[in-house]
Amino acid sequence: MTLIAFHACGDNAEIITDSLAYSHGARHLGEVTKVHHLHHLRAVLATQGDVWFGCAAGAHLSNISKHADDFDGLLSVAPAILRRIWEAEDFTDKAEAALFIIGWSPEASEFVSCGLDAKTDFEPWRIEGPFMIPTPHSLRPSEFEFGILEPAVSAEALASWREAAEMPTPQSPQDWVHLALTAWEDRALTPAPSRVFIGGSLYFTQLNYSAQATHRLFDFDPPDEDFLKMVEGTLHPRAQLAPCPFCESGKVFVDCCADLDVECPCGSGSAIRDCCMLTPEERAQAESELVP
């Protein structure tokens, strides 16, 4: 899960996304474009979850959009296309995956937003009001996010979270920035299981009937201690060589409480020690980079 938020209503729509991408287990971090413009349909595609699925979905729907007359036409064929991608590429054992289509609907005579996700077999669901994932702790998550959180977060914590305030409608780019930074502070720097990865750059997309554009608002550039909080306990090289977060042994995580014999979360089928654990050469290189 990384950052995406939007609001579509009346004659305009606004979307923000970060650009951070990561492999399962966070062994590798990178950046990716999460908003795909379809200018001829007055619409955009925004992806959430599995990076490979998001890239494939964006490419296939961008290609098929040349046969669609409008936003509503694209929305009608999207479920079948997304199901074929999901099944053909065997994404079924991967993390959550969703695609949001935001644009001008001739049927509704306004800008609308719809979500399509793997858990609901990519059947479109209309999103009313502002939407954000992940939400700060002070705001109530969407049912979509609750579905992601339920397997890992206690029922008591989720029940308490349901009592939080609804997300307000941002009135300016500065409001979107404030929401993004609050989500980063609350969710990227918090311990698992509600921790998510947020980073890269924050992009702001605006749509109206005659134009659409994306601008970079700012770059996430956390201090070193905050970056280590975000990757703590993962397979990121910095996390593997950080002090163990689960005890006070003073040893680095990979030499202490890390369970290296379980199946690697990257999906290779091998144990972590035979897969994403740093090799001696990688470890030596990483340690040399940490020396002041």
Domains along the chain with CATH numbers: 4-225 (3.60.20.10), 235-290 (no CATH)
The two tokens of residue 175 are 């409001």
d(C-alpha 170, C-alpha 278), whole Å: 43
User: For position 53, what pLDDT does the model report?
Assistant: 85
pLDDT tens by residue, 75-114: 999 999 999 988 886 664 455 789 999 999 999 999 999 9
User: For position 137, what pLDDT does the model report?
Assistant: 93
Are 46 and 29 in contact by the 8 Å Cβ rule? The answer is no
Query: Is residue 24 classed as helix, strand or coil in its secondary structure?
Result: helix
User: For position 126, what pLDDT does the model report?
Assistant: 97
pLDDT tens by residue, 35-67: 999 999 999 999 888 788 888 899 999 999 999
The two tokens of residue 200 are 């890269």
User: For position 91, what pLDDT does the model report?
Assistant: 62
**pLDDT tens-digit profile, the chain (292 residues):** 789 999 999 999 999 999 999 888 888 899 999 999 999 999 999 988 878 888 889 999 999 999 999 999 999 999 999 999 888 866 644 557 899 999 999 999 999 999 999 889 999 999 999 999 999 999 999 999 999 899 889 999 999 999 999 999 999 999 999 999 999 999 999 887 778 999 999 999 999 999 999 999 999 999 999 999 999 989 999 999 999 988 889 899 999 999 999 998 887 889 999 999 999 998 898 888 775 5
Q: How far is CA 270 from CA 184, 276, 291, in A?
A: 32, 9, 31
φ and ψ at 15, to 5 degrees? -140, 140
CA 181 to chain CA mean position, Å: 15
